[in-house]
Amino acid sequence: MKKVPHDYYLRFIDASVYEEVLEFHSKGNFTLHKAFQHHTSLHFLDEGHLAQLTGNELVLYPDMDLTVELKLSDEHRKGLLYRNESCERFVPGELEFADVEKLVSPLLSMNTESYKRGYPSGGALYPAEVFLCSLSNECSTWPGAGKILHLLPKSRRFEVMQVETDLEKLKAAILTPPNDIGSPSLALIYVAYMPKNLFKYRYRGYRMALMEIGSIYMLVELQAKSLGLACRLWSAYTDSMLCKVLGLNPALFFPMCVHFIGRQHESY
Ligand SMILES: Cc1cc2nc3c(=O)[nH]c(=O)nc-3n(C[C@H](O)[C@H](O)[C@H](O)COP(=O)(O)O)c2cc1C
């Protein structure tokens, strides 16, 4: 049985490890809903302190001049690999599905014989799942119009998720107001499937899944840049709402991050 059903992994997990990881993970959940918008806040820092505390590099010896300069000119750097800055505001519009295929192509196995993919995975567990949702009203080239797709990187296929997709509900779960991000065309949702993540390396699996998702989104950022597309990672959503629209059990599937893709507004 090489293609095991997803719940087969449950046989091999340690229930106490699973419970503790789930409990820890739940502490990082946001409840973003209009019913709570006047009752909750993320922090009490003022703009001045926020500006002081973010965007910094950590200097370990600030009082000593112990640095060595990098001798790379900006001109020289332009020829080297770098991503674009995150998109500030997306303009509405549909993406050609052929571009969506190119976007995820760096994640696929090089050939259908190899289990290896375009990104490394601790212990070759591959616990990170990628879901694709079109966010535009028109999706003429999208297969199974309006459907959410699940990437199968080895088979090089998309599974069509068996859920009724209501675009407005999907947007409400991912793009909770207020936000000023405009209208991204596509959302990639990076989800860790926890039974597959924890059965072998237990607690350490959690960090490996996060690193795997980081390497996946960086490949997508670079590929998006080469396709002339803009991106923004997004964590302002409520896990359970997102799982509900995807038709996934939130105790098994942890949505770690959303990646918006589209076209940048001209004024930026
Ligand atoms: C894991 C992750 C989650 C993020 N979530 C959000 C988010 O919820 N909202 C947002 O406006 N930006 C989000 N960002 C984008 C960061 O704010 C942005 O990367 C950072 O300000 C640096 O800007 P740059 O990407 O343009 O270099 C996220 C970035 C990462 C890596």
Give residue 111 CA to ligand 1 midpoint distance, Å.
33
**Ligand 1 contacts CB of residue 84 (under 6 A):** no
Which of the listed residues 42, 86, 89, 261 should we mutate to test ligand 1's pocket, taking the one with most ligand atoms within 8 A of CB? 86
Residue-wise pLDDT tens digits, 116-162: 999 999 999 999 999 999 999 887 899 987 899 999 999 999 999 99
Q: How far is the CA of 235 from the centre of ligand 1 (A)?
A: 8
Ligand 1 midpoint to CA 238 (Å): 17
Question: Is the pLDDT at 260 greater than 80, yes or no?
Answer: yes
Ligand 1 site, residue 235, Cβ cutoff 6 A: yes
Residue 239 near residue 251, CB atoms below 8 Å:
no
Q: Residue 38 pLDDT > 80, yes or no?
A: no
pLDDT of residue 240: 95
| Mean per-residue pLDDT of the chain | 93
* Contact of 262 with 184, CB cutoff 8 Å: yes
Which of 64-73, 116-125, 251-260 is the least confident region? 64-73
Per-residue pLDDT at 153: 96
Neighbours of 233 (CB within 10 A): 15
Does ligand 1 have an atom closer than 6 angstroms to the CB of 260?
A: no
**Residues 263 and 229 sit within 8 Å (Cβ to Cβ):** yes
Which pLDDT band holds residue 1 (cuts at 50, 70, 90)? low
Pick the CATH number of 9-37+91-264 from 3.40.109.10, 3.20.20.70, 3.30.830.10, 3.90.110.10: 3.40.109.10
Please indicate whether residue 234, judged by its CB atom, sits closer than 6 Å to ligand 1: yes
> Distance (Å, rounded) from C-alpha 128 to C-alpha 206?
11
The confidence score (pLDDT) of residue 3 equals 80
Any idea where the domains of the chain sit in the sequence? 9-37+91-264
Please say if the pLDDT value at position 42 is more than 80: no
Torsion of CA 221, 32, 21, 213, to 10 degrees: -10
> How close is the Cα of 217 to the center of ligand 1, in Å?
12
- The pTM (predicted TM-score) of the whole model is 0.95
Q: Percent of the chain at pLDDT above 90?
A: 80
Name the residue with the closest Cα to ligand 1, atom 2: 233
- State if residue 233 touches ligand 1 by the CB under 6 angstroms criterion: yes
Per-residue pLDDT for 177 more than 90?
Answer: no
Write down the pLDDT at residue 145: 79
Atom 15, ligand 1: residue with shortest CA distance: 233
Ligand 1 centroid from CA 50, angstroms: 15
Residue 255's Cα: distance from chain center in Å? Answer: 8
